[in-house]
Structures are given as structure tokens and as C-alpha cells.
Structure 1
Amino acid sequence: MTRVLRDPVRLIPLLFAGLIAVGTVVLMLPISSAEGRFTDPVTALFHATSAVAVTGLVTVDTGTYWSAFGQGTILLLIQIGGLGIMTAATLLGLMAGRGFSLRSKMATRVERDRLNLSDTASLLRLIFRITLTVELTVAAILALRFAIGWDMAPLTALWQGVFHSVSAFNNAGFSTFSDSVMGFQGDALILMPIALAVVISALGFPVMEDWREHRLDTRRWTLHSKMTLAGTALLLVGGFVATLATEWSNPDTLGPMPLATKALNAFFHAVMPRTAGFNSLDVSAFRDETLVVNYVLMFIGGGSAGTAGGIKVTTFMVLAAIVLAEVLRRRDAGMFGRRFGHAVERQALTVAFIAMMLIVGATMYIMSVTGIRLADVLFEVISAFATVGLSTGITASLPDTALLVLTVLMFVGRVGTITAATALALGGSDRPYRYPEENPIVG
């Protein structure tokens, strides 16, 4: 047990599980529900996991089912989950007055960030400073807009601003409005601050560290930062164009809107599948082509070592580079004048393969117990695994067994497939021998 607690990679799942357990118990209490009654364990567990995993999938309406205390509990779980257990593990090491061993430090780099792990105090200051700055700024903008533009009472506007700011920066997607932010389809002063908070946090703290140190001197940026920014730009532009094209004439989404409002909502929905979960359009009314676009965006997710989920942008970029290198018959795969190590390539392939197997298995099971069509179930499953929170509206109607499957997916998706696999592994080392090489036929 002592060995487990000293190893951040094994400690991360335990901390997440412990936080979810506490959140579940609190949400079950009568004080947490608006009607003052006990909440059933599955509902409480699902929402606690969704909050800690900063997903946003819900089975009951956040604004009407939960009391002020319950909403505050969910917000606290979102904030802690968003900061990440990696940060909590580092903080525990500082509080204990000791550093992790070099082996443990290297183990924490499961998502290949480039932070200087010997300077944990600086890391913590950076994380908390960025979090506080962005959340307070967005909260102030939203609160003022709710109060002035939507005639909300000052305290109500302030609470709504804070709740949606924290939810946005942590890529949670929880909203106290029954229709998420669909009531603000034409209000750029509501949608854009939320979208920008999501984009900033989804880049990941390694990119923010690079920005702090080097600003616009891109020559000194790490390969990780370059790949994350390039991939993010590609996905945002591609998602915007694809959503605008597929939903342009849809009478239930973008169809009736003027051009500027169409562009605003198309951009918003290009950002949200990157693991945020707010929706200004009715997702259940999306055309199948749009759902496919969302499958891809949700599966990839955002940047490493941030609040985003998915397999991560860098994983996608590494896989794309490997494919390109094979097509062009190049010996090495790489980007921006650098080649990837074989360990990184194998890690990317492992992450993507495990993710796909989990998604396929969960989709098949939920379809077998519900009879819901593939497109909707697959959307829900990817949304859960990638900790997105977007939904076609089927979550509340799922049986408890299906909800528990989604709960597991949210947990695994938030902890990270590599971290979870490492924590559950019994250990081991490379064999002192290698088998003879032989190449099977591929393709």
C-alpha cells in the first residue's frame, strides 16, 4: 500500500475514485436535492463521476433537481477534477516535505508533457494562476451580460456567471439552464467567452508554460506545443466548416438563422466536441453527417496535461505522421523538423487502440440492453469516454446497467488510458531476450 501511495501513477486513480465516492455520498443526501429527498445511488454516482471527470452528461436537470447546496457540490467536484489529480499528487508530495523519486517523476509523464518536474512549486503556481485568472475574467463577463442583457438579479447573474465560467474552463459542460445555452444562440457575449475558456484550458498546461516562457518566439517552443497548436487550429477550422456545411439548411438547427448567427453557433459547436459539452443547438436534431463530424472531434479531444479528454491532439498528430511517413516511404515519422521516438509511436497506437476497443464494447452492450439506434448510442459512448458531455438526449432514458457502463467510461477517460493501464498493471520489465524477427503480411 505504501508503494502505491508513493507512486503518482497509481495514486491518480485512487484519488479520483475517492473523490467520486465522497461526491456520491454528498449528492445522495436530502440537502443536495431541491425537493429535500434522498437521491438514488446510481444517479448520485453518475453525476459525481460526471462532475469529477468534467464530462457533463446528466440524467436529471442540474438547475431544477439539485438544490443550491447540490449545485455547489457539483461545482466543487468540477473544479477539483479539472485541476487534475496530477496536480493534487504533486501538492501531496510538497506537503509531505519530500520529492518523488526520479522513476516516479518519469512515470507521471504519461501524456508526454514537457514541464520541468523538478520545479513542482512553479508548476502549481502556474496552474492556479491561469485557472484563477481565466475563471474570474469569464465569470465577470458572463455575470455582467446576464445582469444587463438578460435582466437577471445581481446575485443570480453572479452565480450563473461563476458556475458557467468554472464549468467552461474545466471543460465540464454542466449548465444550470435546462437547455444548456440554447437560449443564448444569438448572444456572442455569452457564447464566445465560454468557447474561449474551453479552448484555452483544452490546450493544456505545457502549452501555457511555453507561452509564458517564450511568448511568440515559436523557434523555442517545444514540439509538443507546436503539434498541439497546429492540431487544435486544424480541428477547429475543420469542425467549423463541416458543421456550417452539414447544418446550413437544417430547419431545426442553423437553417432559420441569419448568416452571422449561423457562423457563431457553428464555431461554438466546433469547439464544444473538443470535450466541453455545452450546446447552443439541439444535438438530437443534428443530421447524421454532423454526428459523424462530432464522433471524430470528440474522440480526438484536446491537449495533454489540461482539462480536455479524448485520446489527445498530440496522439492524433503522431498517428497522422506515422501514416504519412508510411505512404511517402519515409524511414522516420515526425513533424516540424523533429522525428518521433519509437516509444512515443507505440504509446499513441496503444492509446488509440484501447480507446476504440472500449468504445466498441460499450456501444455493443448498451445497444443490446436498450435497442436504441447505433448513431445515438455511439455518440453517447464516445461523449462519455472522451469526457465531452454532449448528448443526443438518450442519457436519462438509459437503464442503470447502461449508466454504470458510461460511468466506468467517464472514469477511465478522465484518468487516461495509459495512466489507468499503468495503475492496474502488476509491474514487470523488459525480457532479457528477444525473439527472432519475422514479418507477417499486412494489408
Structure 2
Amino acid sequence: MTRSPARVVALGFATAVVVGTLLLSAPAATQSGVGAGVMSALFTATSAVCLTGLIVVDTPTYWSGYGQGLILALIQLGGLGIMTMASLVGLLLANRIGLRARLNAAAEARTSGLGDVRTVIVGVVRTSLLIEAVVAACLAARFAIGYDEPPVRALWLGVFHAISAFNNAGFALFSDNIISFARDPWICVPLMAAVILGGIGFPVLFEVGRHLRGRRRRWSLHTRLTVAVTAVLLLIGPLLVLLLEWQHTLRGLGLGGKLLVAAFQGIMPRTAGFNSVDYAQMDDATLLVTDVLMFIGGGSGGTAGGIKVTTFAVLLFVIAAEVRGDKSVTAFDRRIEPRLQRQALSVALIAVALVMASTLALLAGTAFDLNVLLFEVTSAFATVGLSTGITAQLPAWGQLLLVVLMYLGRIGPITLVSALAARDRGRRFELPVERPFIG
């Protein structure tokens, strides 16, 4: 039976989650030597494969070294993409990629053509490993020199957190995540750099790289939209956190510490679940701002979640065109076709529906407040991983709901856009036009 590339991608991630659950259920994966429960293993495997970072058990104290290694492997597998990884194995074994494999890899890597898929796959792997290696070296050196960690332990900490950061997973090997290093720029800055590079998307990284090498003079509309919106959000996020938390969680810190913590917490919500302060202590206004940043997410074709900054940007230009009374939607001297506008609207509205319905279900079935439940649900769907600490306290059905959201958040936008782009139903007649009232 023929399957569409989008369905194959969804099946690939589901298979990885199942295999990860089975492996994490083994007694050797836990420090106690007793096999993890099905829900703990399933939740952790889904969170790792879907690059989320939400946890129901404490990663450094519950999982053994073997278990932590499995989590790291699942993060890397999810970050590179199941189809990208499968295509890479095919390249190494047969030095060729078939048409169906190219379609599957294109659906995952978000490339527009088939001829460049082979180059993209190799480029994704090379770029990922290079950035992860550089960040790991920086972190390992800091852990060894600044915190007197043994060389092997420092290297493991560096590698784990570098891969977790670049893949926007947010898993940490410290019970308080990164709170203990909140004022250490030698830890926080490399993590922020890795998160931004991983979250902006491989298509943008490749195009900027070609531009810097002089092979491409003009950026594509996708790159310009991604870079512009990302730059704005990277400024707005930290600024709002700084203003809202100045006399709250940032109280008692010096100016340098406040700026560093605000920058860290303003950048992480868009893509990764690292936190240098306790979100349970944050102001409700900050949680709402974080909800919006998480929902928007990062760049397409990267390791971030959310509806993606390009989707958000297209919707903004649609609104601007309608307010100005323009007949077409334009951005950076380019016209955005109506079909793409409909795709952006579909992705955004489906995401809103999933978040609202899940929040309502948890609100009706638990005793938690709206603000923390909305935060948890948005974090799960946007595959961010930030939490106010209620994940482990949710009932089993609530945790299972978050598992479904993490999975849909990881494959949903890819599957949806790919399916919409592949469908082109022709109509041999046009229906009469009628205009309902809008607004």
C-alpha cells in the first residue's frame, strides 16, 4: 500500500517512541535496577524523541548512565529526523537514495526539491555534529575548570547538554535544570547559542552559509522572514521578562545577573526547555508572555516546535494587507500566494484548537489553575519542555494527553503542511460567489 511521505514521517516518529519506551523500561535503564513504569518510560521516550524536555521523573537521579545515554540517543534521533537518519544510512550503505526515500526526507527536512535532498541530508548531519562538538567542548571545559568536575564527568555533561541544547530538547543532568548556573555566562551563553542555531532551521543556516561564502547574494523570502521575526522575538522576549520579573524572580540579582537571566529565559521559551529560574515562582503575566513565545516557536526545518515563525509572519502580513486594503499579500517585495496563506491559517487554527481543547480537558479533570495548565499544554504542544512543576502531579490520563500533544506538536505541522501541499483537487466548475459579513 502506498503511503504519503507525511504519513511515513509520522510512522517513523511513532516507531522511535515505541522502541524508546521498550528500551527505557529495562531494569538497566534506572538507577534502582527496577524497570521503569510504562507511563514513565513512554512519557520520557516521547519527550526525548519529540525534543520537548518535559519529565515525570528526575533525569539525573532516576535514570542510570545507560538510561541517560538512551535519552540522549533518542534526542539526537529526533533532532536529525527519523527519515533523515534513515536516508543517511541508505547513503552510507548503497551510496544512493531512491525516489520514495527522497520524498520522505524532503517531508522531514522541509526542502522544496528532490535534487538537493542528498546534499541537505549530509549537510544536516555535518552541521549538527559540528555545532554540538563546539558547544560540548566549551561546556566541558567550564565544568572541568570552573566546577572541578572530573574530566570524564565534565565531558559527559558537556556532550549531553550540547546535544540537548542544539536539538532544543531541554533535558538536563541537574535536578534544578540550569538554576545553579543562572549567573554563569560560560554555561548559559553556549546553551543559548546552540538553542538559537538549532531552532532557526537548517534551510536558513545553509542559505546564510552560502551567502557568507559568496555563493548566494540574495536571501530567499523564507530566510528573510525567519531571520527578521526571530531577531524581533529575541529582543522582545528578554525585554518583557526583564520588565515583568525585575522586582520578582530577578530581585536580589545584580544588573549583569538580571540581564543574563532575562536573556536566557526570554530565549528558551521559543524553542527549548532549559530554565535558570523556577517558573512556578514567576508572575502570571510572564507565564502568559511565555505561552505566546512557545506557541510561535522557531524556524521551519529545525529542531524547534510551535507553529513556526514563518507561519506567524505570513499571518501578520495577511492582516497588514487587509488593513491597508491591498489586493495581494506581499512581504519583502515578494507576493505570497493565497494557497500559502490558507496553509498558514490552517496550521495556526488547528494548533489553537488542540491547545484550547486540551487545556479545557485538564481544567475540568484536575484541580490546577488555568494559567499553569495552559502553560503546561502549550509547552507540550510546542515541544518546549518548560514547566511550573505540575507534570508529575497530573493524573495518568493527563500525562497521556501531554504525550499525544508532544507527538502531534513534533509531527503535526510537518504532516499537515506536507499533506496540504500535496493535495491539489481540481474542480471543473465554480460555485456562485456570496459574501458573508466578517467582523
TM-score by length of 1: 0.93
The reply on whether 1:134 has 2:117 as its aligned counterpart is: no
1:26 counterpart letter in structure 2: L
Provide Cα deviations, 1:133-183, integer angstroms capped at 9, x if missing partner: 110110011011001101111111111111000000000000010000000
Match of 1:18 among 7, 15, 21: 15
In structure 2, the partner of 1:81 is 78
What does 1:250-261 correspond to in 2, within 5 Å? 250=248, 253-261=249-257
Q: 1:119 to 1:150 in 2, by over 3 A?
A: same
| Number of the residue aligned with 1:432 | 428
Residues 38 and 189 of structure 1: is their aligned pair in 2 closer, same or farther, counting only changes over 3 Å? same
User: Residues 207-257 of structure 1: CA distance to partner in whole angstroms, max 9, x if unpaired?
Assistant: 01111211287851111001000010000100011000000010xx21110
- How far does the alpha carbon of each residue in 1:365-402 deviate from its partner, in whole angstroms, 9 at most, with x for none? 11111121000000000000000000011001001100
Residue matched to 2:265? 269
Larger deviation, residues 151-160 vs 175-184: 151-160
Structure-2 change in CA distance of 1:17 and 1:110 (3 Å): closer
Q: In 2, Cα distance between the equivalents of 1:328 and 1:226? A: 22
Matches within 5 A, 1:175-254: 175-215=172-212, 219-250=217-248, 253-254=249-250
Give the match for residue 171 of structure 2. Answer: 174
Which amino acid letter does the alignment assign opposite residue 200 of structure 2?
A: L
Partner residue in 1 for 2:146: 149
Structure 1 pair 181–68 and aligned structure 2 pair: CA distance change class (3 A)? same
Q: Quick one: which amino acid aligns to residue 154 of structure 1? A: P
Which SS does the other structure have where 1:416 is aligned? helix
Q: Which runs of 5+ in 2 are unaligned?
A: none
Runs of 5+ unmatched residues, structure 1: none
Equivalence map 1:365-380=2 (5 Å): 365-380=361-376
State whether residues 273 and 386 of structure 2, in contact with CA within 8 Å, keep that contact through their aligned partners in structure 1: yes
8 A contact 1:244–1:262 mirrored in 2: yes
Contact 1:93 1:100 in 2 (8 A): no
1:333 offset after TM fit, Å? Answer: 1.4
Inter-CA distance 359–168: structure 2 relative to 1 (3 Å threshold): same
Matching residue within 303, 308, 328 for 2:304 = 308
**CA separation in 2, counterparts of 1:335 and 1:106?**
30
Q: Is the 8 A contact 1:239 1:297 kept in 2?
A: yes
- 1:261-282 Cα offsets, whole Å, 9 max, x none, are 1001111111101121000011
SS at match of 1:175: coil
Counterpart residue type for residue 70 of structure 1: G
Q: Report the secondary structure of 2:31's partner residue.
A: coil
1:96-139 CA distance string (max 9 Å, x none): 7453269x84994589x555531222112211111111101100
- Taking every aligned residue pair, what percent have the same amino acid on both sides? 49
Give the letter aligned to residue 47 of structure 2: S
Change (3 A) 1:347 1:177: same
What corresponds to 1:285 in structure 2?
Answer: 281
**In the alignment, what sits opposite 1:337?**
333
> Is the contact between residue 115 and residue 206 of structure 1 (CA under 8 Å) also seen in structure 2?
no
Aligned partners of 1:134 and 1:169 also within 8 Å: yes
Q: Residues 64-83 of structure 1: CA distance to partner in whole angstroms, max 9, x if unpaired?
A: 00000000000000000011
C-alpha displacement at 1:319, in angstroms? 0.4
- 416, 420, 428: which one pairs with 2:412? 416
Within 5 Å, which residues of 2 pair with 1:314-325?
314-325=310-321
Q: Is the 8 A contact 1:8 1:89 kept in 2?
A: no
Q: Indicate which of 353, 376, 390 corresponds to 2:349.
A: 353
Contact 2:81 2:108 survives alignment (8 Å): no
Contact kept, 8 Å, 2:379 with 2:387, in 1: the verdict is yes
Contact 1:354 1:417 in 2 (8 A): no
Q: How many residues align?
A: 436
User: What RMSD in Å do the two structures reach over aligned CA positions?
Assistant: 2.3
Distance in 2, matches of 1:9 and 1:255, equals 48
Whether the 8 Å CA contact 1:300–1:311 is kept in 2: the answer is yes
| CA deviation after TM superposition for structure 1 residue 416, in Å | 2.6
Letter in 1 for 2:349: F
Residue in structure 2 matched with residue 398 of structure 1 by the alignment: 394
